[in-house]
Amino acid sequence: MKILAVCGMGLGSALVLRMQAEKALKELGLTADLEVADIGTARAIAPSADLILTSNELAEQLGTVKPKVVTISNFIDLREMVDKLKAALE
């Protein structure tokens, strides 16, 4: 499974998303390849991912992509990440 953490430039909030997703997956007992991308790259490589993690606003800018898009409102709230990943991956 490949999860893509997406932000505007791929080096700020997407890194936070990736590190939170790492912790959440550990808590859920799951493993996945986690990658970071800026929004432009994300559009291009989205078909190779199984899941995209991003903010509500960037999800709108991303438009329609193949993988399921999970939007995170509070990037540093591990509970939100765990709950949303769990719901998406079940």
Partner 1 sequence: MADARPGPALSDLLAAGAITIGADAPDWRAAVRAAGDALLEGGATSAAYTDEMIAAVEELGPYMVIAPGIALAHSRPSPAVLRPGISIVTLGHPVAFGHAQNDPVRLVVGLAAPDEEGHVTALSTLAEFLADAARLEALIAARTPDEVRRMVASFEEEQAAAATEGMPT
d(CA 40, CA 51): 16
Q: Which is nearer to partner 1, 60 or 66 (CB)?
A: 60
| 78 is an interface residue for partner 1 by CB under 8 A | yes
Q: Which is nearer to partner 1, 73 or 90 (CB)?
A: 73
Q: Is 12 in the site for partner 1 (CB under 8 A)?
A: yes
**Going edge to edge, which strands form the sheet with 51-54?**
33-38, 2-7, 51-54, 68-71
d(CA 5, CA 70): 10
Please say which residue, 1 or 78, places its beta carbon nearer to partner 1. Answer: 78
88 scored as a contact of partner 1 (CB under 8 A)? no
Rounded CA-CA distance 47/53 in Å is: 14
**Residues in touch with partner 1 (CB under 8 A):** 7-13, 15-16, 19-20, 36, 39, 55-58, 61, 73-78
